[in-house]
Amino acid sequence: MKEEVKLMKGNEALAHAAIRYGCDGYFGYPITPQSEVLETLMEEMPWETTGMVVLQAESEVAAINMVYGGAACGKTVFTSSSSPGVSLMQEGVSYIAASELPVLLINVMRGGPGLGTIHPSQADYFQATKGGGHGDYHLITLAPSTVQEMCDFVGLGWDLAFKYRTPAIILADGIVGQMMEKVILPPQRPRRTDEEIKKLCPWAITGKTSDRKKNIVTSLELDTAIMEDNNERFQRTYRKIEKAEKRYEAIGTDNCDFLIVAFGSMARICQKSIELAAKAGVKIGLIRPITLWPFPSEAVAEAAKNCKGVLVVELNAGQMIEDVRLAINDSNMPIEHYGRLGGIVPNPDEVFEALNNQLINK
Amino acid sequence: MKEEIIIAGFGGQGVLSMGKILAYSGLMEDKEVTWMPSYGPEQRGGTANVTVILSDEKISSPILNSYDMAVVLNQQSLDKFEEKVKPGGILMYDSYGIHTPPTRKDIKVYCVDAMDATFDLGNNKAFNMIILGAMLKLMPVVTIESVLKGLKQTLPERHHHLIPMNEEALKKGMSLIKE
Amino acid sequence: MELNDIIKPENRVYQKPRLLNDNHMHYCPGCSHGVVHKIIAELIEEMGLEDKAIGIAPVGCAVFAYNYIDIDWIEAAHGRAPAIATAVKRLQPTKMVFTYQGDGDLAAIGTCETIHAANRGENIVIIFINNGIYGMTGGQMAPTTLLGMKTATTPYGRRVDLNGYPLRISELVAAVDGSCYVTRQSVHTPAAVRKAKSAIKKAFENSMAGKGTSLVEIVSTCNSGWKKSPADSNKWMVENMFAKYPMGDLKNV
């Protein structure tokens, strides 16, 4: 398959991008608003073309453990779900992180807590960026704001996951999952051969041959001294990632009066609010963190330096704002939060109004 | 060029697919497009709407509060979206089932009898394309040729014999707009 | 005749399988795990599956199975081994993939994964050690604990009104269309060990032949948990466990 321009939903783009990346396996369970990932994969029948395995699991719990098993074999595997399903997966995610396995996870967030709503939300920011399951670990967290980024971050997510042997998550929301846009799909890459996997992942479960010792993928270590060493190794990896992999988009942050920090779909809504503000003569800058972990703290602090206040806009009750406060670390700087909850998405006028009420006219 | 359009009606009226055809036609003309549906169970029987934005430049918000054009196909949608048309913008509605017509004077209001025209054509599947034809007459954001090209690319080959019927419906829709 | 005249390869009557290494096993004296480990190691060696066998270890006493048998292993979260095995076998169909699980792991927290893997007919082998108790965590009630049996969480004996009935997993797995071979065995006598070995061999063959899911239940003892001597445990198992969990094939297609 060559590069192709298509009109499709974000969820569909995830599926196509995965096939074209040379994915070995997908294991998932239907849940709104991300079921199109599994549906698209089943419709495309990649097992007939690339040999990719696609399986509808009996639960999210099974799906994440299938992904754990697949990744343990050095395979390029992923799963996708939405908030309640991702909560169910957290046990497996903790095991994956602790076993240092490269896995791609996708959360197309909906409003919670509980069964909540099927409508868009960004309320799983804490869960994704602070670990989510038990123990000290992080997920490389990518926040797409366009269908093109949904496509591109599949490849980026796997590249980073394999580079650092750690799970990566695409933290999307119902808007970017359900929205259709123009997307340029990359050309088809071949799946890795068994030989390539053995070379790239000497730790992988590929069957013990006489030329090597047995491989064991486990997160269990009852010797506390060794377990501390393991944890320190994980932390060293996280420090490396923090140093090298922070990503963000900055729009109009030079000499802006105020700064908005927003991610994913919400950042695009804010861009329109910024256009409205410009018409009213107020210059607003935007920092859109692309990696939510590692969080682009320096970029946020730099952009906020000369402005009069910061508005953090999220589809939640105030989660990323904690990282923004830590980044700016200035108690004299007004850092306000505007968010809608339970699946309500504010329109650009509402964000502009919040800007006026909470910062501009204060 | 940037046009922000909302199409709203009953679920099952083809609101979402009409928006998709419009977005796909924009793609045929190398435009940037977004198609943002209201999603979930409300699609099935309740009201459904889709925001379609076509632009020469990168599109920011896929969620809007005001529109250059609203195409409404039932009373509930008319009640909801009449006030959201930008001053000087266009409101087009199908007369079928409308008991309280729009009252705004600062926008251009068009009433089309698309349901009647559908019966004239003797094909109840043509309703969508009649509406699309009428709206493209009012806002020629893409050409009819691009719509047909888009259909040819998205429809499976076995349905290509339906394209002339769609063309006829588009033209019928255009003829419903009388300046 | 000198001793060295006797110690010759042609006179050897028994040898530990090469794949079973010299690591000191953490199992209690009298535990059935060691015997089942040996059978598995022997079979993998005899069947030439060393580079094809992939084991999925459970949470429970056999959590460290990977320390004793020298093949590639994945350690599963509690109960999830059949889901992991599903992915491993689908992604590496030429491998022989088996899970090794106890009754707490498989019959309680992992029932869902077990039934669904079998129902999909995954070409995997499930080795199910059923000793009617949680060994690793200190002798609590398992779904398979017999009525009246005393455990740490049924100190006065298991009662139906409090705890429900003992669960027969093999019967459930045999009932789903995707399983091809379900059998119940034990390893308390040399004859039983030989039968169990041929059952596991058949299961391994099924995995390689892609016939569906095979489950070999080994009704076992837990003399520590049961608070009996190894010999008494075997006797108690034959007299009580076998009544609820009768020996033999439940399904063989």
> Nearest residue on chain A to B60, judged by CA atoms?
A268
Q: Of the candidates B35, B61, B66, which has its C-beta nearest A180's C-beta? A: B35
How distant is the Cα of B43 from the closest Cα of chain A, in angstroms?
A: 13
Please check whether residue C41 is in contact with residue C98, taking contact to mean a CB–CB distance below 8 angstroms: no
Q: Tell whether C174 is covered by a domain.
A: yes
> Nearest residue on chain B to A181, judged by CA atoms?
B34
Q: Rounded to whole angstroms, how far apart are CA atoms A120 and B39?
A: 10
Residue B114 neighbours by CB distance under 10 Å: 26
Which token pair is A321? 């704002």
Q: How are beta strands A77-81 and A284-289 bridged, if at all?
A: unpaired
Domain that holds residue B126: 2-175
Residues of chain A with a CB closer than 8 angstroms to some CB in chain B: 5, 7, 32-33, 118-119, 174-175, 178-182, 265, 268-273, 275, 345, 347-350
Q: Tell if the CB–CB gap between A208 and C70 is shorter than 8 Å.
A: yes
Kindly report the pTM of this predicted structure.
Answer: 0.95
Please check whether residue C145 is in contact with residue C160, taking contact to mean a CB–CB distance below 8 angstroms: no
Residues 6+ apart with CB under 8 A from A173: A108, A109, A110, A120, A121, A122, A264, A265, A266, A315
Q: Of the candidates C63, C70, C91, which has its C-beta nearest A220's C-beta? A: C63
Residues of chain A with a CB closer than 8 angstroms to some CB in chain C: 24-25, 27, 53, 55, 57-59, 61-63, 65-70, 72-73, 75, 77, 91-92, 95, 99, 205-210, 214-220
Q: Which chains touch C (3 or more CB pairs under 8 A)?
A: A
- Average pLDDT, integer, range C28-43: 95
Q: Rounded to whole angstroms, how far apart are CA atoms C180 and C174?
A: 8
Q: Which chains touch B (3 or more CB pairs under 8 A)?
A: A
- Average pLDDT, integer, range C166-181: 98
Spell out which residues of chain B touch residue A13, defining contact as CB-CB under 8 Å.
none
pLDDT score of B46: 72
Q: How confident is the model at residue C172 (pLDDT cuts 50, 70, 90)?
A: very high
Q: Tell if the CB–CB gap between B36 and A345 is shorter than 8 Å.
A: no
Residues 6+ apart with CB under 8 A from C46: none
pLDDT score of C8: 87
Please check whether residue A245 is in contact with residue A290, taking contact to mean a CB–CB distance below 8 angstroms: no
pLDDT in tens, A101-158: 999 999 999 999 999 999 999 999 999 999 899 999 999 999 999 999 999 999 999 9
Spell out which residues of chain A touch residue B41, defining contact as CB-CB under 8 Å.
118
Q: How many CB pairs under 8 A join A and B?
A: 72
* B window 35-64, beta carbon within 8 A of A: 35-37, 39-41, 59-64
Look at residue B42 and tell me whether its pLDDT is greater than 60. Answer: no
Q: Tell if the CB–CB gap between A69 and C113 is shorter than 8 Å.
A: no
pLDDT score of A103: 98
Please check whether residue B56 is in contact with residue B85, taking contact to mean a CB–CB distance below 8 angstroms: no
pLDDT score of C15: 87
pLDDT score of B97: 86
Q: Tell whether C121 is covered by a domain.
A: yes
Domain that holds residue C149: 28-252
DSSP A305-321: TTSS-EEEEESSSSSHH
Residue type at C108?
A
Please tell me the class of the A4-195 domain: alpha beta
Closest CA to A1 of A21, A24, A27, A15: A21
Q: How confident is the model at residue A262 (pLDDT cuts 50, 70, 90)?
A: very high
- Average pLDDT, integer, range C183-198: 98
> Nearest residue on chain B to A9, judged by CA atoms?
B35
- Average pLDDT, integer, range C69-85: 98
Q: Tell whether C1 is covered by a domain.
A: no
Q: How confident is the model at residue B153 (pLDDT cuts 50, 70, 90)?
A: confident
Q: Rounded to whole angstroms, how far apart are CA atoms C242 and B54?
A: 73
The residue with greater pLDDT, B57 or B42, is B57
CATH classification of the domain holding C123: 3.40.50.970
Q: Rounded to whole angstroms, how far apart are CA atoms A259 and A236?
A: 33
Chain A CB within 8 Å of residue C93 CB: no
- Average pLDDT, integer, range A61-87: 98
Q: Tell if the CB–CB gap between A216 and C86 is shorter than 8 Å.
A: no
How distant is the Cα of A170 from the closest Cα of chain B, in angstroms?
A: 20
Q: How many domains does chain C have?
A: 1
pLDDT in tens, A277-289: 999 999 999 999 9
Look at residue A219 and tell me whether its pLDDT is greater than 70. Answer: yes
Same fold, A4-195 and A248-360: yes
Q: What is the ipTM of this complex?
A: 0.95
Look at residue A60 and tell me whether its pLDDT is greater than 60. Answer: yes
Q: How confident is the model at residue A79 (pLDDT cuts 50, 70, 90)?
A: very high
Closest CA to C99 of C225, C203, C170: C203
pLDDT score of B77: 93
Look at residue A71 and tell me whether its pLDDT is greater than 80. Answer: yes
pLDDT score of B35: 97
Q: Please calculate the CA angle C250-C120-C105 and round it to the nearest 5 degrees.
A: 70
Q: How confident is the model at residue B41 (pLDDT cuts 50, 70, 90)?
A: low
- Average pLDDT, integer, range C37-58: 98
pLDDT score of B45: 60
Q: Tell if the CB–CB gap between C84 and A68 is shorter than 8 Å.
A: yes
pLDDT score of C3: 86
How distant is the Cα of A55 from the closest Cα of chain B, in angstroms?
A: 24
pLDDT in tens, C220-233: 999 999 999 999 99
- Which of C52, C72, C208 should one mutate to test binding to chain A, selecting the residue with the greatest count of A CBs within 10 A? C72
CATH classification of the domain holding B125: 3.40.920.10
Q: Tell if the CB–CB gap between A206 and C83 is shorter than 8 Å.
A: no
Q: Rounded to whole angstroms, how far apart are CA atoms C65 and C74?
A: 10
Q: Tell if the CB–CB gap between A272 and B60 is shorter than 8 Å.
A: yes
Query: To which residue do tokens 């920092």 refer?
Result: A287
Query: Residue A52: phi, psi to the nearest 5?
Result: -65, 140
How distant is the Cα of C47 from the closest Cα of chain A, in angstroms?
A: 14
Q: How confident is the model at residue A53 (pLDDT cuts 50, 70, 90)?
A: very high
Q: Of the candidates A58, A70, A205, which has its C-beta nearest C116's C-beta? A: A58
Query: Residue C122: phi, psi to the nearest 5?
Result: -55, 140
pLDDT score of B44: 54
Helix ranges (DSSP H) in chain A: 10-21, 36-44, 46-49, 60-72, 83-98, 125-129, 147-164, 174-178, 194-200, 224-244, 264-279, 297-304, 320-328, 348-355
Q: Tell if the CB–CB gap between A65 and C112 is shorter than 8 Å.
A: no
How distant is the Cα of A101 from the closest Cα of chain C, in angstroms?
A: 12
pLDDT in tens, B128-147: 999 999 999 999 999 999 99
Q: Tell if the CB–CB gap between A272 and B36 is shorter than 8 Å.
A: no
Does an interface of 3+ CB pairs under 8 Å exist between B and C? no
Residue A329 neighbours by CB distance under 10 Å: 10
Please tell me the class of the A248-360 domain: alpha beta
Instruction: Report domain extents, chain A.
Output: 4-195, 248-360
Look at residue C247 and tell me whether its pLDDT is greater than 70. Answer: yes
pLDDT score of B40: 60
CA dihedral A212, A216, A221, A225 (to 10 degrees): 20
